Copies of this chain bind each other. A is one copy, B any other.
Amino acid sequence: MTRPLDVLALGNAIVDVIARCEEDFLVHQGVAKGSMTLIDEDRAESIYAAMGPATITSGGSAANTVVGAASFGARSAFIGKVKADPVGDLFAHDIVASGVAFGTSLAREGKATARSFILVTPDGERTMNTYLGACQDLSEADIDPTTVQSAAVTYLEGYLWDPPAAKAAFRKAADIAHAAGREVALTLSDSFCVNRYRDEFRQLISGGTVDLVFANEHELKALYETADFDTALEALRRDAKRAAVTRSEKGAVIIEGRKTFAIPAYPIETLVDATGAGDAYAAGFLFGYTAGLGYEKAGRLGALAASHVIQKIGARPEKSLKVLAQENGLL
């Protein structure tokens, strides 16, 4: 019998290669600050050669989220594809060491494990250049029905629309989840990603494939092609069953039907590296949501987790989020 899960995440399995850089470097490299740009192998080599000394940590948006949820105490699993190379081994090691079940087979041949070359500017903003590599080999065959059926929420990242075969895996997972009476959550991932797949994302949300939407302000505006936040939020309210929209230091807004919950951000001392802020927010929210703690508490847990990961290098928590939540009187 499969152990019941709170959160199953499906996403691109990526290691982050993180270096600091000056603003000029982004200009010279011609990359859009704050975004995620897809790159090929040649471009990966040239950007890596130009980057400063780097640190390698496990990353991947949905993977970061499920590791965070597990750190709060959620029963968690992840599906995503890496190759059996030294950085793929790091990814697999870290996710298991974080208490997340990970049963996807490592590719023995084919493209290398995906790497995101992340440039962190002095203001703490991160700009990502991602070589998808082995993520392109994630397919429907990697979706284990009993795992999906056992999860209260299956969490999918919008980035899965980039590798062609992953889209089918995404749809298969969503179908199995709903057939089992489970819920499906989606993060819009990145405003450029929204621009690439706007119509499909809107269809997923308004068509009922998705029960819970995560987005930041920029992604939401991109989704509804408006510069006005309130206009975008009302459009989302019509389309989505429920959603959590993050606005950096302005906090987050959770909506469900006519209900609205505005939750402030946690104050921080220094923004060191914004990588993983949205992922951590989703982690806290999903933990609170699946534990039945209510939107107010779920939102606060998300905000707390985000405040933790942006005050250090890398996207994953450095200490137990459960302990952090207890220290802050949330659990």
Residues of A within 8 A of B (CB): 17, 19-20, 48-49, 51-58, 67, 85-87, 90, 93-94, 97-98, 112-113, 313-314, 316, 318
Contact = CB atoms under 8 A, between A and B. Distances in A.
B86 A112 contact: yes
A200 B122 CA distance: 48
B85 A54 contact: no
Given A85-B85, A86-B86, A87-B86, A52 B314 contact: no
Contact of A314 (B51, B55, B87): B55
Give the oligomeric copy count.
2
Contact of A94 (B53, B86, B97, B112): B53
A318 to B, nearest CB: 8
A90 B56 contact: yes
A98 B57 contact: no
A223 to B, nearest CB: 33
9 contacts: A51-B93, A52-B97, A53-B58, A53-B94, A54-B90, A55-B56, A55-B314, A86-B112, A87-B87
A211 to B, nearest CB: 30
Contact of A53 (B51, B53, B97, B113): B97
Nearest to A90: B56
B93 A54 contact: yes
A205 B111 CA distance: 50
Counting chain B CB atoms within 10 Å of each CB, the highest count among A58, A90, A113, A318 belongs to A90
A56 B51 CA distance: 16
Contacts of A112: 86
B85 A51 contact: no
Contacts of A53: 58, 67, 93-94, 97-98, 316
A55 B16 CA distance: 10
